[in-house]
Amino acid sequence: MRHARRNVQRIARFAAIGGLACGGLMVTQAMASETSGDTKTPNAETRAARTGQELVSELGDSRTAGSWIDAKGRPVVAVTDEKAAAEVREEGAVAKVVRHTMRDLKSATEALKDAPKVAGTSWAMDYKTNQVVVRADTTVSAAEWARLTEVAEGIGASVRMERTEGTFTPRLNGADAMFAGSGRCSAGFNVTNGQNNFILTAGHCGPVGTTWFSDQQGSKQVGSTVSGSFPGGDFSLVRYAPGTTLSGADIVAVGGGQGIRIVGAADPAVGQKVFRSGSTTGLQSGQVTGLNATVNYPQGTVTGLIETTVCAEPGDSGGPMIADGLAMGITSGGSGDCKAGGTTFFQPVTKALDSLGVKLATDPGAAGQAAPSSGSTGGADNDAAAAVPPGTASTAPGGAVLPGAMGPASTVPEGQTDNAASALDRLGEYRNLGPGLFVIAGSLLALVALRIRSERGRKRYRNQYSQSWG
């Protein structure tokens, strides 16, 4: 009976993959349907992640402790007994027998949650080591660290303590996507509830009632925040202003005239390679290192996050995390930068979609067109006109601006002067000649470095997931 049930599940698993290739099936419960005519199939790493997640779900929390992708791209499932290990191997996955169950790890996180909150700390489940890892940034004092260590020791061997460099902060200021009184933030994905269209972005970007504009002067309204969660979660909905048309809504622009079509949403696996698009640092890559992470920001505690090695800097907040054409996360915050590296946390897209009662917006009219042709006209560097942030020189097909699709970092918001251009204007004044040259040199070097980083990020994504590259 068990073998028969597993055969049915295996067939269903293959059917789901086949359905993704044919178009029309939901990739997960929380996903938008793939556009018709699309012939993409999941990348091997995505298939491995799905296999591990399904096995964990089938075996349950008392017999497993998570799954991940190993260096060879194979799904690995942590199990607590040899019988479960045999079942995992029967499905073609790798089994690792561990001491602590998923229930044990969850119990540890609950105990940490009940302890006094300390800003600058985080914890996440490290499936590979079968522990919950507690990290403290440089703002945590020695006395606070000692108290945390005492809590961890009281929980037991399922908890490990680590110090980390940098400071855990939300990545808000300095983006070139959406402007409000609370600052500037990147837009994530376009979503819909069937009646209205919204931008899904980070919750810390602004509370309900925040009005967003595509220019710093506040003359071009994008929409307003109508719901969200922060702290607790880190997601929000910005409802588009009346009359906005979402053509090309399912494309995430990554600069250089290139875009990636989003075909659905999924939860990542530990060890999976992921990419993040941000207004400040362009397209960056890294690996998922932990799930169900909790971060104690100075503004409050956020739970259920994805922990990664993807770098991020102020201005990348709210931007999309993707892999294999699937929406996976919204940039929340972290520590470090893209020079020295760091840790970045993401709000899972699937949880945000479920909580808000929306689904990813799709664009059937643009099926088969992952990005505009190289002949598209628009903003600086001929960046994709199919999906760019508000305030850039480019517009979407039909003239609509699409802030919900992340644009390249090299564009400059309307109403905000480019540093290099401003410096050139200042050369007209003789007394500013010396300082102007220094400003120009610094600005040009920064632009060149950013252009190189963005191009490297695009090449990494294309090499990893050629089927979703346009």
The span from the CA of 198 to the CA of 190, in Å, is 6
- Which residues partner with 199 through β-bridges? 190, 238
DSSP 361-392: ---GGGTT-SS--TT---SGGG--SSS--TTS
Active site residue 100: no
Rounded distance, CA 346 to CA 303, Å?
10
The answer to whether 9 and 92 have CB atoms below 8 angstroms apart is: no
Cβ atoms of 153 and 337 within 8 Å: the answer is: no
Q: Which residue of the set 317, 332, 394, 468 is catalytic?
A: 317
Distance CA 120, CA 297 (A): 6
Which phi and psi (to 5°) does residue 380 adopt? -55, 145
| Residue 351 identity | K
* Residue pair 209/163 in contact by the 8 Å Cβ criterion: no
Contacts of 19 (CB under 8 A, 6+ apart): 25
d(CA 392, CA 162): 42
Q: Determine the distance from the C-alpha atom of residue 19 to the mean position of all C-alpha atoms in its chain, rounded to a whole number.
A: 25
Options 137, 176, 234, 267, the catalytic residue? 234
234 catalytic, yes or no? yes
Contact 252, 457 (CB under 8 A): no
Active-site pick, 104, 204, 214, 394: 204
Tell me the catalytic residues.
204, 234, 317
